[in-house]
Structure 1
Amino acid sequence: MASKRCHRDTSTTTEFLKGCGQKKRKGEVKLSFPELEELSRQLLVASSSENENCVRILLNYTTPESDAEFVVQSILSLQTFFAVRLLDGHVFDSGLRTMFDDFLAHLIHIASSPLCKFHLVRMAVLEAIMVFVKLNKKGHFCFTLYQSLIQALIYSPLEVDFFLDSLVSNYFNYIDVRYFTFMTMQNICNTLDKRISSGNNYVTQDGPQASLDHSISKIHFILSHIPPLGDSDTDFEVWSEGFLSKEGDNQVNPKRKEGKDGSEKKDKSAKKRVKLKLKFTKAWMSFLKLPLSVEVYKEVLVKLPQAVIPYLSKPEMLCDFLTRSYDVGGVVSVMSLSGLFVLMTQHGIEYPDFYQKLYALLVPSVFMARHRAKFLELLDVCLKSPLLPAYIAAAFAKKLSRLSLVVSPSGALVIIALVHNLLRRHPSINCLVHQEFHGKTYSHYGNADVASDIARGKQGVDVFKDKESDPLKSNAMRSSLWEIDMLRHHYCPPVSRFVLSLENDLTVRARTTEMTVSDFSSGSYSTIFKDEMRRRVKQVPLAFYKTTPTSLFSESDFPGWTFNCEQLKVM
């Protein structure tokens, strides 16, 4: 019975293929969808001599130009056909092997084509490619095919978020997929670096050219979405067979008994962890050599401290990249501070000019930057060491106090908190709170004009050099925090109230506590307004006028000043 059925199916297939041939001779190249479905069914029962004809017809419909339903049907049929033979261990003949390679090439072309817009087509393409990544080498991971897929996605000028998101959600939880993804990223980054060195600023992979920034952005997306290796057993789950194992590794050694604590299993996990860390490190270091756009540069600096540095085999390798970033200035320097601080405090990296560069970052714009909260919190931590020299602590306190006069009210609040912590941690600079000058001590300022002005009691003289970039030369220890006293009369009530916290004797540490900078670092006009609206005020200051005022300010508000209104009108 079986042989008769096989013969009947074969005859049907032969007749069907003859009908397809007759349509082709008549110029009717395209099959109807029911005919395509019938061809797909015949492919699974056809004899080996007729396989190539069925496959050849279905390959004509695995193109981006074909209708979506035709593409999906053809892909599923060919996927099933080739997958069954790979699972059975059948060796393809030369003709069928060529068609299999063509089928894989068609799938990768569809994945990077602008015509691949339908969700079902994308799902079918990605699933088919990943099936053959797993089966093409007898269950072992086919790195060549996987790398070809990733290269096509990265070099494509199109947005391929669907494919990248699908890889992240469905495959990146397997340790072997992560391992080979890191290898692919390293190879692609090295290739791009060579092309850039040769003067070629565009990337291509047998198709339309993509901009360099676009491709680098995709690489960053993949690297930043690969989950880190944890300690649970699920983190070592593999997708393919034989990952990082040599022949005979899975055999049990009769002379070696595994302990109750699973020591042998732990050893294997430790080896996998070391190898994955090595690939992780090589991939990221290759990526950081590329010319990153400003947007990607900022995202990388934000991600490095927590998502990259802890998982590098040698975190010290990032020292050059972070120090170069720190020397750039502006927002980039602010954002690189976090990673550099991690290297200094946790990995023993020395950076002699750290505090001088940190001091130079204190400009008004930093209090309006997007990542100001993280910077201000790190600034507070960097100034926490009791071994910090008094002149550095004084310079930071004075520079912050000067900035409080020009920044927004939210910036003034966080500055008061920072200065409060500095005065409490470093009693040696408490003299800045109310420093008086007497007699012959002015010769130490090194400026005869300034010394004579102070000696004559001339008001408004401050020896602090606001524009000096070196804390040692700023003369901060010879100045005073008069700017903080000015904040008592700040136009914003929360600032004037908060500055009263410095009235306490901060040298007596038992009476005071450090302020949490994070409570103020994210402040804005909106947060201040909301806080004021929630306050319950018992007394409200009111202004009464016997006559309707004719100007915003009265002459009594400016003693000694005269205003010629007629002259102003003429001007």
Structure 2
Amino acid sequence: MAPKRTATAAATTTKKKRDKRSLSELKTLGQQLLSSRAHINNLPLLLTYISPSSPPKYVVESILSLQSFFSPVLPSLPSSSKAAATNTADADADPELIYRTWLRSKFDELVKLLIVIAVSPQCEETVREVVLDTIMEFVKLGNGGKFCSALYKDLIRAIVYSSLEVEFLLESLVSTYFKYIDVRYFTFITVEKLCKSLESDNSSGDNVVIKGGDDSKASLECSIKKIHFILSNIPPLGNVDEKAAIEMWSADFLSKGGSGQEDAEHTEGENKQKKGEKSTKNDVSLGKVSKRMKPKFTKAWMSFLRLPLPLEVYKEVLIILHQGVIPYLSNPVMLCDFLTKSYDIGGVVSVMALSGLFILMTKYGLEYPNFYEKLYALLIPSIFMAKHRAKFFELLDSCLKSPLLPAYLAAAFTKKLSRLSLAVPPSGALVIIALVHNLLRRHPSINCLVHRESGKETNQDDKKSEQQCVSSDGNAGVASGVIRKKQGVDLFKNEASDPLMSNAMRSSLWEIDTLRHHYCPPVSRFVLSLENDLTVRAKTAEVMIGDFSSGSYATIFREEMRRRVKQVPLAFYKATPSSLFSESDFPGWTFNDDGSYEDAKEL
């Protein structure tokens, strides 16, 4: 026990001496360390000041002195594994090797202290910025003068697993170092390993949405948010110019980064393809870098998407997936499971998954058998108030553009939209009119919905046409029943989830006709465009859905305020009215004095 008391007393004495030193004395210790090996014992003294509890000025001064000392000698130091294997007690060992092994141990201690300070809640932003710059300088030279991926991995791991948000640290890392191509490369590798580690720690291992819970779930959610921030802020290779694309933090990344013969063959193949054309060094480097980056980018994102994403992260991923991820994957079809599961969830998640799924179907040949049934199910009144409704309506218009779309399917979407026009705000009614306009123009076979006369011949023709379209599908039998002759009965089944069973071909667009008397003037004016014969394609044009998809009450009001009105209708009364509505406005109803009402007899 005596040696322990002696060590404790020595540590207490050292702490007291450290507290009594002034900032100028601390600078002197650093200058002596840099001047001669005779003052090498100043190195452990400077390390004692690198602590979250130390004054910020002392911490910064110590870091700057130690960085100036280690930067020149770091490439010549042995690796941590070799230093651990070296037997410093061996009498025959080289004194220089023993000295450098000791320096390596002190350097590893310094790095651990820097990472602790970087994620400490007591650390100030100015100190954290100095710490990050120092660590990245060591990353630049820590592997024998090349990029030290192990040190960089320890930094990212500490940031991700920290319970703090450390927003400043991540933003500094993104703004300062993610422009370097080798930093992005090793970031993808590190993120992939971290995601696999988090996935193994998560017992479920399934891609479900975290909705809160105990501390472990909260910690996992925090880590996933940080990984998402890192991945979403790495600029893709295709969005930067060639000079920026080959800008590297470590100069030996391309020539000695591990690609070897594979990169040499790729470069030779590129030179053969570009034979006879002017080719610069940047062109070859860009192709080489792109070849190495794409697999790492793909593995990092696919590992991340297998994690149990929080709901807000899930939505943000779906928003950027079609532009920021799919074009840069090695094989974008790998996302089909993730997107189809998202599309099957329903609601706003399905709306946001539609963009990525549509790209996979149109550009990469993905087959999704029940795509239109799921798209039909998304047409509910709440979709017209969703945040991402503009993109949804544009994609809906694109999905219904094909001339090979069956008539019953086009009719079902047209009728479903017209029924929704009775329950949506005016901005939604404008979008519906535009969509119906395009559907009627593209598919002349459904123009019978515009004006359907009641009669024996018409009913028989409608029944025959629907029987033909149903039997041609092969999934359902011939429609049963006889068309009811009763006036005013709509045979459309609005509650049906399958467009095939909606009976849309036996209905009409009477809902659109009611919009002629809509209380909002832009709606009543715009619906008049459907009076034109849309089957004459030479005299009509498609409506741009983007002009109406993001509308609201505010946009309609602004447009109405810009209009110049020549004549304004005025309403006046000779006598002051006693009620808001008169009885003539409600034919067939009688109103009692006590406020109750009853149905009038049928006339």
For this structure pair, what is the TM-score category when the shorter chain's length is used for normalisation? 0.7 to 0.9
Displacement of 1:227 in angstroms is 0.6
The match for 2:34 is 44
Q: Is 2:525 the partner of 1:517?
A: no
SS at match of 1:223: helix
SS at match of 1:451: coil
Q: Deviations over 1:377-416 (max 9, x none)?
A: 1101111111111111111100000000000000000100
The match for 2:374 is 357
Q: 1:82 aligns with which of 31, 54, 70?
A: 70
The match for 2:43 is 55
Displacement of 1:419 in angstroms is 0.4
**d(CA) in 2 for partners of 1:482 and 1:198?**
51
Displacement of 1:509 in angstroms is 1.0
Relative to structure 1, the CA distance from residue 236 to residue 142 in structure 2 (aligned partners, 3 Å threshold; closer, same or farther) is same
Checking the alignment, whether the CA contact within 8 Å between 1:330 and 1:361 is kept in structure 2 is yes
The match for 2:400 is 383
Q: 2:167 aligns with which of 161, 164, 179?
A: 161
Q: Is 2:135 the partner of 1:135?
A: no
Checking the alignment, whether the CA contact within 8 Å between 2:52 and 2:117 is kept in structure 1 is yes
Displacement of 1:23 in angstroms is 11
The match for 2:567 is 539
Displacement of 1:119 in angstroms is 2.5
SS at match of 1:562: strand
**d(CA) in 2 for partners of 1:151 and 1:23?**
33
Q: 1:145 aligns with which of 151, 166, 183?
A: 151
**d(CA) in 1 for partners of 2:522 and 2:458?**
38
Checking the alignment, whether the CA contact within 8 Å between 2:410 and 2:439 is kept in structure 1 is yes
**d(CA) in 2 for partners of 1:382 and 1:187?**
38
Checking the alignment, whether the CA contact within 8 Å between 1:122 and 1:163 is kept in structure 2 is yes
**d(CA) in 2 for partners of 1:158 and 1:473?**
54
Alignment of 1:118-517 (within 5 A): 118-197=124-203, 211-230=219-238, 232-246=242-256, 261-262=278-279, 266-439=283-456, 444=463, 451-452=483-484, 455=485, 457-459=486-488, 461-517=489-545
In structure 2, what residue type is equivalent to 1:393?
A
Unmatched tracts of structure 1, length 5 or more? 1-20, 203-207
Displacement of 1:291 in angstroms is 0.6
In structure 1, what residue type is equivalent to 2:236?
P
Aligned residues: 533
Checking the alignment, whether the CA contact within 8 Å between 1:316 and 1:349 is kept in structure 2 is yes
Unmatched tracts of structure 2, length 5 or more? 1-9, 78-95, 211-215, 467-478, 598-603
Checking the alignment, whether the CA contact within 8 Å between 1:397 and 1:419 is kept in structure 2 is yes
The match for 2:24 is 34
The match for 2:103 is 96
**d(CA) in 2 for partners of 1:562 and 1:209?**
62
Checking the alignment, whether the CA contact within 8 Å between 1:61 and 1:71 is kept in structure 2 is yes
Displacement of 1:233 in angstroms is 3.4
Checking the alignment, whether the CA contact within 8 Å between 1:404 and 1:483 is kept in structure 2 is yes
Checking the alignment, whether the CA contact within 8 Å between 1:155 and 1:209 is kept in structure 2 is no
Q: 2:54 aligns with which of 42, 66, 74?
A: 66
SS at match of 1:422: helix
SS at match of 1:272: helix
SS at match of 1:95: helix
Displacement of 1:568 in angstroms is 3.5
In structure 2, what residue type is equivalent to 1:213?
E
Q: Deviations over 1:453-482 (max 9, x none)?
A: xx1x433x1000001111111111110000
**d(CA) in 2 for partners of 1:25 and 1:297?**
52
In structure 2, what residue type is equivalent to 1:54?
N
Displacement of 1:268 in angstroms is 4.9
SS at match of 1:197: coil
**d(CA) in 2 for partners of 1:56 and 1:286?**
41
Alpha-carbon RMSD across the aligned residues, in angstroms, is 2.8
TM-score, length basis structure 2: 0.83
**d(CA) in 2 for partners of 1:536 and 1:260?**
60
SS at match of 2:59: helix
Checking the alignment, whether the CA contact within 8 Å between 1:40 and 1:74 is kept in structure 2 is yes
Relative to structure 1, the CA distance from residue 139 to residue 486 in structure 2 (aligned partners, 3 Å threshold; closer, same or farther) is same
In structure 2, what residue type is equivalent to 1:439?
K
SS at match of 2:173: helix
Relative to structure 1, the CA distance from residue 451 to residue 72 in structure 2 (aligned partners, 3 Å threshold; closer, same or farther) is same
Displacement of 1:262 in angstroms is 3.0
Displacement of 1:265 in angstroms is 6.5
Q: Deviations over 1:77-105 (max 9, x none)?
A: 11111112225779653322211110000
Displacement of 1:25 in angstroms is 7.0
SS at match of 2:235: coil
Displacement of 1:28 in angstroms is 3.9
Identity %: 62
Displacement of 1:164 in angstroms is 1.2
In structure 2, what residue type is equivalent to 1:408?
P
SS at match of 1:521: coil
Displacement of 1:442 in angstroms is 5.1
Q: Deviations over 1:174-226 (max 9, x none)?
A: 11111100000000000000000379999xxxxx9961111101100100111
